[in-house]
Each structure stands twice: as structure tokens, then as C-alpha cells.
A and B are shown apart, each in its own frame.
Chain A
Amino acid sequence: MSSRTLFVTYLGLPACVVALVGVWSTLSNPSGGWVWPPDRVTISEAVATGDYAEVMRLMESGVDPNLAASVRADLLGGSPVQLTPAQAAVRARNAQMLRILLDGGVIVGPSRLAVLKCINDENGDRDVRALLDAIPSGPLPPCDQVTIP
């Protein structure tokens, strides 16, 4: 093979790679992607990543926003964790998301509220704190008596 043919092949290589990877990622996308990350997330992962639309879709399709769901590693800490959507919102310091969850029917009883407030004490978000303070409750246990996920 001549040096010119080799050079021309080298020049064509990036475009070939872009085309082949493009076709492969397009065809493999419905089954969870390959080049691009998967688009399937739990409701708590959607909350953690600020994916408002996915949170709405999941709630409208009947997913219970009061139940804990898995959150993969590196989203809200180094390791995978089980969190309710509200806990994920507080951990992500996302007051707007927390408001959407509360408007969407998330039930926050005293024990859950205590957990949320203790998580927020670790993170310290003022807007989240204001939302949590607005939820009526009786006396809450101190954080050292609360198990934080």
C-alpha cells in the first residue's frame, strides 16, 4: 500500500468512526444505549439529577413518590443508596423539586420530616429548609436519634 493511500485512509478514518459509532449507537439506543448513557432512571435518580420531566412522567404513570428507590453511585455520594424522592431532593438541595413532590402528593409525617430536616442540616440549603419548616409537625427528635439513609 502506497504512502498516499495510507494517508487518504487516515484522513477518512475519523468520518468512518463517527458514522459507524453513530449507526451503532442509534440502533442500540432502544436497548439501553452504548455510546450514550441509558435513559432509564428510578424516580429518586430523576430527582437527584434535576430531571423534572421524568419525575412528572413517573408520578403520572402511577409510581408512588413515597417509596424509596435506588440511586446509583456518584449521584448523591460515592456508593449506591436507597432514598425516597423527597430525601433525594433534599440531598440534591433542590427546593423546586421538593415543592413539586409535595404538590404531587408526597406525604411527610413527623418521622419522615425529621429525616429530611436532618439530611438538610448536613447540606444546609436555606430554600429547602424554608419548605420543610412550612410543613406542620409536632416536636421532632434530635438528629443524633434519627437514622439518615
Chain B
Amino acid sequence: MALSIAHSVYRIPVQVGDSLDVILVSRHAESSVELLKDASTWSPTTLRPMRYLQARWLSVLAESLGTSYHAVFRGTHAALATIIVGLIAWIANPRRWADVVALGIALTVLIGLHTFDAMMREAFPVNHYAEVAAAALFVLGSSLRPHRLISEIVVLLALVWGLLLIESAGLIWIVIVTCAALRMPGMRTRTAVMATVVLALFFIARWQLEISTPGIGSHSSGWGGGVLSGDELAARFSTNPWPFYAYNVSGGALSLLASEPRFGMYQLLAAQAAGSLNPVVTINLVSSLGMTVVLIICCWSAMRRPFHQWSLETKTLATGIVVITVSAVLCAAYIKDDIISTAGVLYAVMAYLAVQWALGRLETGMRDTSVVALALCLALVAPLWGFRAVGTHYELRRVAFTTRNDWALKSVNVLAGGDSASRDDVARTGRLRGEALRQRVTSPTFLPDWGERYWVE
């Protein structure tokens, strides 16, 4: 599964939007230190210098190796997809056939989730959310194992890297602190303290640089069965934003647990208004709700014991619940799939534990009515998640087509920034465009027609 998802990700050319400009700008500075200083002041609402630094380092790497930008940028993204799958297998650590089956289902949950699709379809020029998700998984995995100094160092470095990349990396800190609070063997209190110091320094730097957080109206957002523009949101909620925040927080959690809403819009309501419902909405809703029900029963069964009796599996489930909750809160001002993508990978880990637990119940109580209900639920959702996982590949092929076409509709000079573009910018843009055009992709015309109704929301 890791191989095929990496292949689907690698087929997507480097994007024009969110990537080309970053790659070009990252090379304007004389040095990485100068870029770090400059990039820290470019945005009034974000502190993401690492975005530019890693774009610079990867483009320099491509040039020094004499390989294509595509190989380096897309290769990094594909490697991240593989690493995320590998980290989940590392955390799962399957030992029996039933564990392997549970892991298989968990990986279809991971790949089939719309939040994973969001991490794979876009790059800036590497997907930052995928980096945060991989770091969060590493923190969790190393917490489950005996403490090692090298893991502790890597965890802190990942936090520093992540925070300078995107604000969602605060979730790495959440995982560190939660694992320490739950007294997991690989996470020391001192690590949590150092991580908290790092986070505090990050906020102090933001304050020093007068970086604010974006408010309501900076983005359009779903509301009920439709979408409100930034202006409409500002007009409706600027005096009292709490209903909007509450709507988004609940929507963020539900988006993961029930695949509804998407970007704040409830497709069931939209379908009701339009008079037609695509099967994809039903498939996603049933598969997500089914898995969430199994998860809730598993969590309820495991967590009603006193804390000192909690197993590592129970603590992992608790960590997942914390990450999902905090991710939902992060959606308060702006809800989108990417923001809950780290919670999505934790959801897949929780799905593994829940299926593993359910299969264990089958061994002991096949005659119990609740166990039969659990088995029927799993029997329904396992094929649905497999179907959704194939849909992610379908989606990524469509994305590859549109991404490649973006390079064709404008000239190299226009893409590079027009008359103000330097010769280096034009040369790099020309090279990126040439690589994108040489990347063969399949036109959606040749993909099965029914795929849109069953896989595309």
C-alpha cells in the first residue's frame, strides 16, 4: 500500500500555485541564514520560515545532484507518504495474523480518509501537514517504546522544525505532553518540559515579530448546506464569533468521525436542497460512522478501568482522543481537511487498536449479541474502507492531470512573475515547466465515469 500511494503521489507534477513562487523566492536570498531572517517577517499572520528554507535546500539538492526538481520535491512528498504508512506499522507492531488484518484495515482507513487525500494532493512545495503528521506518529511510536536519548533529541528537533514550518505543529507538542502525562515509557517529563519551553519561545518570537492570528473573514467557509464568503462571514459573526467557532469546532471533529461536513459544508443538506445525493457521500458517511462506533465502544471498554490499569493501547487511544479534540479546536476560525490531517493519522492508529480489540472479542464471545453486532459492523466497513482507499488513488490521478495542465496555460515568463522576473527565475520556471510537461499523466476522460459519483466529493 505504501508503494502504490507513493507512486500515485510521485506522478503529480510540482504545483504552480503555492509551490513555484516559494521555490523561486527561496533562492533570492544570498544564504539560508539571510532567508531565515527575511522569511520570518513576510507574513503578518504566520511564522513559517522553514517552508522557504526547505524549498531552498531541496532545490539546491536537485541542482547539486544534477537530478530533476520533480524527483527531489515529489520524491520527498512520496517518501513522506511511505514514512507515514511505515510509522503506523511501527506503532501497530503486529505479531499475529489477526493483528495483520487489523493493520490492513487501519491502512485502508488511513489512505481512504479525506484528510490523507488532502495531505497528498497538495504541496507547498512539500506538504507541511504530512511532515507534522509523520512527526506526531514518531513521537507516539517512540513513547510506546523504552526511553532512548536519541529519540528524545529527534522528538525535540521535530518540534522545532515543525513549529517553524506551520502552526499545526503545535499538535506535536500536544502529543509529547499527552504521552508524558499518560506516563508512557518512552516519554520523560523533562522532554515535555523542554518541548513546552520550545513552544513558549515560538510564541514569544511571534509576539516579538508582531504576528497576529487570522480572524473571521480571512477565508470563505462552509455553513450548513452552503458556503459563505469571507465578507458574509465577517458581516454575520464579527460582533459575536462564538456561534461560528462552535460550529467549526464541532464540524472539525465530525468531519473526521463521520466524514461530514467537508470544509464546514454538510453535503447531506446540500444534496437535500439539490434533490440528488451522490453515492460517495453515503459510502463515506457509513464507513466513517461504522468505524467510529467500533472505536467508541473500544474506548469505552478500555477507559472505564482505573488509570493505573490502563495498558499502552488504552493510553494510545487516549492520545488519539486528545489530538482529535485539539485539532477540532484548531478549526475554530478556519475549517479545512488539512488542519485535521494529523488527527486523521491518529484516527487510523485508533482504528487499528479498535479492530484488534474487536477481533479479540470474537475469540471469546461469538455468541454474545453485542459481539455479533460488532462483527457485522466490521464486515460492513472493511470493504467500504478498501473502496475509499482506491478512491484516493483515483483522486490523485485527477489532481495530477489538473496540476500538469496549470503549467501549460501560461508562458514561462508569465509563470515566473512577468517582466520583473530575474533570469534565474525564468530559467528555473522553464525547467520546472519542462519537467511537469514531461511527467505523463492520465486524462480523467479515460478514468471510469462512475468514479466521480463514487469517489469524488
Contact = CB atoms under 8 A, between A and B. Distances in A.
Interface string A15-54: 1111101110110010001001111110000101111111
B107 A8 contact: no
Contact of B5 (A3, A16, A22, A60): A22
A55 B405 CA distance: 10
B105 A22 contact: no
B1 A19 contact: yes
Nearest to A72: B446
Nearest to A74: B445
B417 interface: no
Contacts of B436: 53
Contacts of A14: 104-105, 108, 382-383, 385-387
A23 B3 contact: yes
A3 B429 CA distance: 60
B340 interface: no
B93 interface: no
Contacts of B389: 18
Contacts of B4: 19, 21-23, 25-26
Contacts of A51: 401, 405, 443
Contacts of A16: 104
Contacts of B440: 39-40
| Interface size, A (range) | 35 or more
A75 interface: yes
A4 B437 contact: no
Contacts of A96: 409
**Looking at chain B, what size class is its interface with the partner chain?**
35 or more
B124 interface: no
Given A10-B379, A25-B4, A19 B98 contact: no
A18 B108 contact: yes
Contact of B97 (A8, A13, A33): A8
A4 B97 CA distance: 12
Given A39-B442, A41-B443, A55-B408, A22 B3 contact: yes
A11 B1 contact: no
A137 B455 CA distance: 48
B104 A38 contact: no
B1 A38 contact: no
A53 B437 contact: yes
B408 A53 contact: yes
B105 A37 contact: no
Interface stretch (B68-76, B228-236, B265-273, B358-366): B358-366
Contacts of A29: 7
A12 B362 contact: no
A58 B195 CA distance: 53
Contact of B98 (A8, A23, A33): A8
Contacts of B407: 53
Interface string A118-149: 00000000000000000000000000000000
A52 B386 CA distance: 33
Interface string B350-368: 0000010001001100100
Interface in B179-202: none
Contacts of A53: 404-405, 407-408, 436-437, 441
A49 B402 CA distance: 12
B361 to A, nearest CB: 11
Interface string B16-29: 00000000000000
Nearest to B100: A12
B378 interface: yes
B385 A11 contact: no
Contact of A12 (B105, B442, B446): B105
B446 A8 contact: no
Contacts of A4: 362-363, 366
Contacts of B262: none
Given A15-B105, A25-B4, A51-B405, 10 more contacts: A4-B363, A11-B359, A18-B1, A19-B1, A21-B390, A40-B440, A46-B443, A50-B443, A56-B408, A100-B408
6 contacts: A8-B97, A8-B101, A16-B104, A36-B397, A36-B447, A53-B441
